[in-house]
Structure 1
Amino acid sequence: MTRRLILMRHAKSSWGDPAQPDHARPLNGRGQRSATALGDWLRTQGYLPDRVLSSSSVRTRDTFDRLGLDAPAQFSDALYHASPAIMLKALRTASGQTVLMLGHHPGISAFARSLVATPPTHDRFDDYPTGATLVADFPITDWGDLTPGSGQAVDFIVPRALTG
């Protein structure tokens, strides 16, 4: 039996109000369209999480809402701009067969690179743009047994591929 992780960077956020605190920034119009397209892609591909671990920021919450997924979500301040070590610690306590984790750059891109044995050949994997989504499988039966470098990349997508 395996466990599946869907590792997603939040969609594009708005910088319309320069005085707005970073944690409170919502998605912009492009981010809203991208998050909706990513949710459609996840459903079409059959990549449906049964648990969600997310940063507590407004833009990650907005991204999750726009995905339109029916899964219980846990929003955590600890995942706001979290390091790969913090993300790994949170994931090791997860329940569920398929977990969606929503986070921020640069931690999420470093975490993605650390998890898979062989990275996807996609030219945007290393910079992990907004909305970038990795789907990876792990040969474990419990998230507590997760070790870096043990994942197999199943899929990788960026919103531009879905929205043109």
Structure 2
Amino acid sequence: MQRLILMRHAKAEASAPGGDVDRALSERGRRDAAAMGRALAERGLKPDMALVSGARRTRDTWDAVSEFFGDVDLRVADALYNASADTLRRAVEAAEDEAGCLLLIAHNPGVHQLAVDYLIESAASPSVLDKLSGGFPTAAAAVFRVDVAGRPSYEGWLTPEALQA
């Protein structure tokens, strides 16, 4: 793997009859996810594999962003639903030999913590750490370049709000 994109699902409805796992994206969420897919593709960040939580809002996010990527090996995993940073890391590591560019779409707080962990491990600058200190907004993506030893280092941070600015 040469590149890793950690993405939080887009904004979801407040509730669903089937419970939290069945919450669909809100209208804003659908717009934000599509904008992020376009922005990633325009920057040459097109995954060849995607790991996506089995929750409806993450699958809906994938549906919106994937329009801009072409052919991608999609793997939906219920184990990624509200998973810890450690669980997400293990999923990334299990797929690292199968993807050049891997996209993980999951949930907070796990996805945020994993991004921060990677930043700390790569000795990211204080200014980079500050970018994520305020949280990991819905539909945001942290992009990492991965070296030959499998160590991620910060490459970029995209949010729907920044795209609108």
Smaller-chain TM-score range? 0.7 to 0.9
Residue in structure 2 matched with residue 6 of structure 1 by the alignment: 5
| Conserved? CA contact 1:115–1:151, under 8 Å | yes
| CA-to-aligned-CA distance 1:72-114 (integer Å, 9 cap, x gap) | 2100011001111111111111111100000000010000011
> Is the CA contact 1:34–1:163 (under 8 Å) kept in the aligned structure 2?
no
TM-score by length of 1: 0.87
What pairs up with 1:1-164 in 2 under 5 angstroms? 3-15=2-14, 17=16, 19-67=17-65, 68=67, 69-70=69-70, 71-94=72-95, 95-116=98-119, 117=122, 118=124, 121=128, 124-126=131-133, 127-140=135-148, 146=150, 150-164=151-165
TM-score w.r.t. structure 2 length?
Answer: 0.87
User: How far apart are 1:20 and its partner, in Å?
Assistant: 4.1
* Counterpart Cα distance in 2 of 1:16 and 1:86: 25
- RMSD over aligned Cα atoms: 1.8
Structure 1 ranges of 4+ moved more than 2 A: 119-124
Q: Distance in 1 between matches of 2:129 and 2:164?
A: 17
SS of the residue aligned with 1:96? coil
Structure 2: runs of 5 or more not aligned: none
Percent of matched pairs sharing the same residue? 33
Question: Post-superposition shift, 1:122?
Answer: 7.3
Greater fraction of residues in helix: 2
User: Is the CA contact 1:56–1:79 (under 8 Å) kept in the aligned structure 2?
Assistant: yes
Checking the alignment, whether the CA contact within 8 Å between 2:116 and 2:129 is kept in structure 1 is no
Pair 1:27–1:123, CA change in 2 (3 A)? farther
Shift of 1:155: 0.8
Secondary structure class of the residue paired with 1:47: coil
Cα 1:66–1:101 change in 2 (3 A) is same
